[in-house]
Amino acid sequence: EADIYQTPRYLVIGTGKKITLECSQTMGHDKMYWYQQDPGMELHLIHYSYGVNSTEKGDLSSESTVSRIRTEHFPLTLESARPSHTSQYLCASTNRGSSGRLVEQFFGPGTRLTVL
C-alpha cells in the first residue's frame, strides 16, 4: 500500500465556493500529479510537479491551480467551483527510476467532488 493521502474523500459544495483538495505523500517522491476522472472514462492529467516550486499544466485544460511548497504536499485549488467541476480527482506520485528499476506511479484514494 502506497503512502499517499487525499482529503477530503468526499466533498459536496455550492457553486462559487473556493475549495482546496489536499494531497500528501510520505515516500519522498519528487514527482506528483493530479488527474481528473469521470465515470467510465480514462484518467486525464490536469497538473504535475517535478519538485518544490515546480508546477506545470497537464493535457486537460483545468480552471484549478496547484502549488508545491513542500516535497510531500501538492494541494489543488478551485477559486470558484462550478457544476462542471464535479468529478473524481486523483493525486499520484512517482519514485525515481534507476538502473533495472522501472518508475512506478502510486495513486491516492481520490476525492469525489460534487458541485451543486
CB 23, CB 91: distance < 8 Å: yes
Q: Answer yes or no whether residue 94 interacts with another protein by CB under 8 A.
A: yes
Question: How many binding residues for another protein (CB under 8 A)?
Answer: 24
The residues that bridge with 88 in the sheet, in sequence order, are: 37, 112
Site for another protein in 20-79 (CB under 8 A): 31, 40-43, 45
CB 55, CB 67: distance < 8 Å: yes
> CB-based contacts of 1: which residues, under 8 Å, 6+ apart?
none
Amino acid at residue number 75 = P
Q: Answer yes or no whether residue 11 interacts with another protein by CB under 8 A.
A: no
Q: Answer yes or no whether residue 100 interacts with another protein by CB under 8 A.
A: no
Q: Answer yes or no whether residue 97 interacts with another protein by CB under 8 A.
A: yes
Q: What residue ranges bind another protein (CB under 8 A)? A: 4, 6, 9, 31, 40-43, 45, 90-92, 94, 97, 102-110, 112
